[in-house]
Structure 1
Amino acid sequence: MTFFEQQHQARQETKKLVFLFALAVIAIVLAVNLAMALLWNFKFGGHHEVLRSYPKGFFAINTLITLALIGGGTLIQTFNLRDGGDAVALMAGGRLISPATGDLQERRLLNVVEEMALASGIACPKVYLLEHEDAINAFAAGYNQNEAVVAVTRGTLNRLTRDELQGVVGHEFSHILNGDMRLNVHLIGVLFGIQMIAGFGQQLMNFGRFSSSSRDDKGPPWQLVMLFAGLALFVVGYIGIFFGRLIKSAVSRQREFLADASAVQFTRNPEGIGGALRKIGGLTDGNRIGSQIDHQNAEQLSHLFLGSVRPNLLDGWFATHPPLTERLQRIYGRSMGPLEAPELPQPLADNTARLADLPFAAAGFASAVTPSQLPSSVSTVAATPTLEFGNSSSRSPLSPQLDGAVRDSAGACAVVYALLLGEGAERETQLALLKKEAPQQAALTSFLAETIVQLPLSARLPLVDLAAPALRQLPQAARDRLLAIVEQLIAADSRITLAEFVLQTILTRRLAPRAGRLVPIRFNRLSDLRNDIALLLSLVAHVAVPSTCADVVATRLAAFLRGAQACPELQLAAQDYCDGASLSFPRVRQALDNANQLAPLAKPQLIKALLAAAEDGKPLEITSADILRAICAGIEAPIPPAVAATYQAYPWQFDN
């Protein structure tokens, strides 16, 4: 099942979720009214007068208060999760791992995540560590693939080999690439609302316990009534928990099977995710499961995790995850037993420099380097320190300077600026602008530009993906400042090149104030955006056919018509082709914004058409791959395999 089919299915699952949510609300409202009626009779019904009726509006008020609690709780929690993956990770007790960390276990985890992101063609996710969780577990969260986070437990780092860690990360990348995360985050807010009644009941019990015990002549003391009311609502609240687990089981179990299969596909190694699951089984005893999470929000977040977070009486049909035995059977094709999961030896750190001690790392990256110090500082990091795990080690393919720069917020900004530096007089103008607008990074930018120019073209744009976690650590004001400087650097020569447009498009989609927020669906069919799609096809055709090509106009038109044939419902013809004079980047940006609001199942047809326009029976050129990468970023879709293959020619393989 493709990414887009998964997104479509997620929309269908949302309908199921709405139905179950409505059912849960009805059940809770009925139960609350029944409980309040019993309490009313308990307080006022056992006296000299026979109770003839309930007060006017009794049931209506109960219903309104219940609906207000459920709706208010859902809205509040949804608002609290507006920052997507970061908010979820903090809710689980996660600690953000710095991209410049010197901890060797954390470095290994970041490298595995970076490898997976580069192979997938998406922004490298932020990585969080659940420091106090000794079990083996992990999750991915976020509203879209370019603002996702991956979180793992300390037990995952301590107990898994690198291959097993790759399997776990591959499983979580499946959730990122298959569009599962958005529904999962929505689910957190919904479940919080229907489970609020239990929390309100707890508050009533506390209020009754500590209030005065005065009684009147109409029945039991109000203190006792409060206690019983709180207890009744607390019990009623478990209806919400029941429906919560029912909803989770309805939308998450099959996705776990898919994520396991995708992890095997990504890593080409069933022993990766399979070994991790077997070790979860090996950690399980009579009172504890090997993936157990002890945090107070574990139950609320249980559907996000790799494995079950707690043993539960509702396991079976209502379990959030399939049984380990069934998952292993599907991975291996046969029954597999558990594995012991002892803590592995710590990574070898003797005689190994910490990344944070390098001149270009961590907080001192930008401020510690001045133009006069730069050459001598560079010479002190002539070799990247080897990070050793067991008996195997390797090195980052990047130079030590770039490797340090992309992991630090200030350095990552310098990498972005360096990617935009031109030649000759244009560069002098740009550097003068940087000395004025970003004086601490001007010298570093100039130096990194000399390093970047030595990289093959296919290795340059992925630097932005590697730098994404460090850039996303910037506060929004600093992000806005970065985007403003990028715009000024591009405008330095009063024109915009294709490379500049691609870089600005990707940065804007990932760092602008609305980046990562939900985008409403406004267009269900490609025909709703006929002119915009004609413009995008024309752009790709223009880029795919260089101006040096013989009969360039006819060849570009032929490329446009190849793409048009992949969208027959649009009935595009030669007169719909936009030549270079009518291709303006502001128009292209508007077309991308509109295309981003297409329904999920309409996007793959668009990407297929764009690929048809770019391909002509031979591998993609890097310029074509870059523009397709930018378009995919603009419409929040994974890059297709043909585009990813263009970048995988560079050996993005990090340390073990």
Structure 2
Amino acid sequence: MLRIALFLLTNLAVIVVASITLNLLGVGHYLEANGNLNLNSLLIFCLVFGMAGSMVSLLLSKWMAKRAMRVQIIEQPRTQEEKWIYDTVARLAKKAGIGMPEVGIFHSPQSNAFATGWNKNNALVAVSTGLLQRMGRDEVEAVIGHEIGHVANGDMVTLALIQGVVNAFVMFFARIIGHFVDRVLLKNERGYGIGYYVATIAAEIVLAILASVVVAWFSRRREFRADQAGAHLVSPAAMISALASLKAEYEQPSEMTGELVAFGIRGEGKMNFAALFASHPPLDQRIAALQQQQSY
């Protein structure tokens, strides 16, 4: 969840800042002499800058995560607990066939963990203090296996590619909306007026939020795969137990922060509008999927 949230926020910030800068500089030769839009030029322009925004977010993801979550990197384990975490990540990474990630701990009362990084041999795996306090070692190992699974499956790179395409279409349609507002509604016939820039930026923000439904759907599919990886690297029983512990923790209202509610990590299986934006499937569905695989 933290991995996806940080990536999406960074991506949105990059795209909005880039759009404002490009608009102010007048970059983009997609307006023809007769005042019509050259849709081919516009699409190429949007693909280039949309993918660039996503790639910048990907390259910054590890740096952003370390600072946003105040991750303490374990370079030389100082305690038995740190040594166990470091050795567990090393063993599971080797089993998954990826390079040794950086290993870190961040302070949070909730059970949480994330993995990020621009390639599978240069990743970061971090666990929360709440996770270490609340779960047994088999469950923590399964959670680490889940995060290693994200790295081994190349989820961050694939997410970046999908987000890049989404960015391109957001920029494309936002500029068409801005053009319509400027030319049709405001009757501006020379170049672009202030209405175009305001409408384009506003449309980009709204369309980016709506387009995040697509990215969230993809993220939910990848969570099932990461659960399978955790079950394979550790054991199905440990992965199911870890998810059940999360479900018990997050079903307590006092344990649910606004951020966790927003990302739909609770155990209910009900579909609603907010669930469309959830980066994780309901825990009940994840547990059921692993139990079903166990029965075969």
The C-alpha deviation readout for 1:622-645, integer Å capped at 9, x for no partner, is: xxxxxxxxxxxxxxxxxxxxxxxx
Distance change >3 Å, CA 161–CA 145, structure 1 → 2: same
What is the percentage of aligned positions where both structures have the same residue?
Answer: 24
d(CA) in 2 for partners of 1:176, 1:266: 13
Contact 2:105–2:128 (CA<8 Å) still a contact in 1? Answer: yes
The C-alpha deviation readout for 1:206-234, integer Å capped at 9, x for no partner, is: xxxxxxxxxxxx9xxxxxx9799747843
The C-alpha deviation readout for 1:251-282, integer Å capped at 9, x for no partner, is: 33333222212322222251x32233223322
Contact 1:93–1:130 (CA<8 Å) still a contact in 2? Answer: yes
2:235 is aligned to 268
2:206 to 219, 238, 242: 238
d(CA) in 1 for partners of 2:153, 2:257: 26
Counterpart residue identity of residue 329, structure 1: A
Q: Secondary structure at the match of 2:121?
A: helix
Q: Secondary structure at the match of 1:259?
A: helix
2:58 to 77, 81, 86: 81
2:183 is aligned to none
Q: Secondary structure at the match of 1:81?
A: helix
1:278 to 230, 233, 244: 244
Distance change >3 Å, CA 76–CA 329, structure 1 → 2: closer
Q: State the Cα RMSD in Å.
A: 4.5
d(CA) in 2 for partners of 1:176, 1:146: 8
d(CA) in 2 for partners of 1:238, 1:257: 29
Contact 1:130–1:151 (CA<8 Å) still a contact in 2? Answer: yes
d(CA) in 1 for partners of 2:212, 2:112: 21
1:253 to 178, 201, 220: 220
Contact 1:164–1:275 (CA<8 Å) still a contact in 2? Answer: yes
Counterpart residue identity of residue 149, structure 2: S
Distance change >3 Å, CA 232–CA 187, structure 1 → 2: closer
2:101 is aligned to 125
Between Structure 1 and Structure 2, the one with more helix by share is 2
In structure 2, list runs of 5 or more residues that go unmatched.
Answer: 1-31, 176-185, 187-192
Distance change >3 Å, CA 86–CA 117, structure 1 → 2: same
Shift of 1:236: 5.1
d(CA) in 2 for partners of 1:111, 1:291: 33
1:111 to 72, 82, 87: 87
2:141 is aligned to 166
2:23 is aligned to none
1:150 is aligned to 125
Counterpart residue identity of residue 151, structure 1: A
Q: Which has the larger radius of gyration?
A: 1
Contact 2:171–2:204 (CA<8 Å) still a contact in 1? Answer: no
Shift of 1:165: 0.7
d(CA) in 1 for partners of 2:41, 2:87: 52
- The equivalences for 1:381-392 within 5 A come to none
Is the counterpart of residue 72 in structure 1 residue 49 in structure 2? yes
Distance change >3 Å, CA 234–CA 333, structure 1 → 2: same
Shift of 1:243: 1.7
TM-score normalized by structure 2?
0.61
- The equivalences for 1:2-401 within 5 A come to 58=35, 60=37, 71-79=48-56, 81-82=58-59, 86-87=62-63, 89-90=65-66, 93-103=69-79, 105-131=81-107, 133-187=108-162, 189-190=164-165, 230=198, 233-234=201-202, 237-249=205-217, 251-270=218-237, 272-281=238-247, 282-284=249-251, 289=256, 292=259, 314-316=273-275, 319-333=278-292
Counterpart residue identity of residue 207, structure 2: I
TM-score normalized by structure 1?
0.30
Distance change >3 Å, CA 283–CA 253, structure 1 → 2: closer
Aligned length: 241
Shift of 1:70: 7.0
The C-alpha deviation readout for 1:69-110, integer Å capped at 9, x for no partner, is: 774353144145347x63463475452513213255444322
Contact 2:93–2:99 (CA<8 Å) still a contact in 1? Answer: yes
Q: Secondary structure at the match of 1:329?
A: helix
Distance change >3 Å, CA 58–CA 155, structure 1 → 2: farther
2:9 is aligned to none
In structure 1, list runs of 5 or more residues that go unmatched.
Answer: 1-54, 201-217, 219-224, 335-656
Q: Secondary structure at the match of 2:146?
A: helix
Q: Secondary structure at the match of 2:37?
A: helix
The C-alpha deviation readout for 1:109-164, integer Å capped at 9, x for no partner, is: 22321231344454321123344x43333232344432232133343233222111
Contact 1:128–1:149 (CA<8 Å) still a contact in 2? Answer: yes
Counterpart residue identity of residue 326, structure 1: Q
d(CA) in 2 for partners of 1:78, 1:169: 26
d(CA) in 1 for partners of 2:101, 2:239: 20
Counterpart residue identity of residue 276, structure 1: A
d(CA) in 2 for partners of 1:154, 1:195: 38
Counterpart residue identity of residue 169, structure 1: I
Counterpart residue identity of residue 325, structure 1: D
Shift of 1:327: 1.0
Give the number of the structure with larger relative contact order, counting CA–CA contacts within 8 Å between residues 6 or more apart. 2
Counterpart residue identity of residue 127, structure 2: V
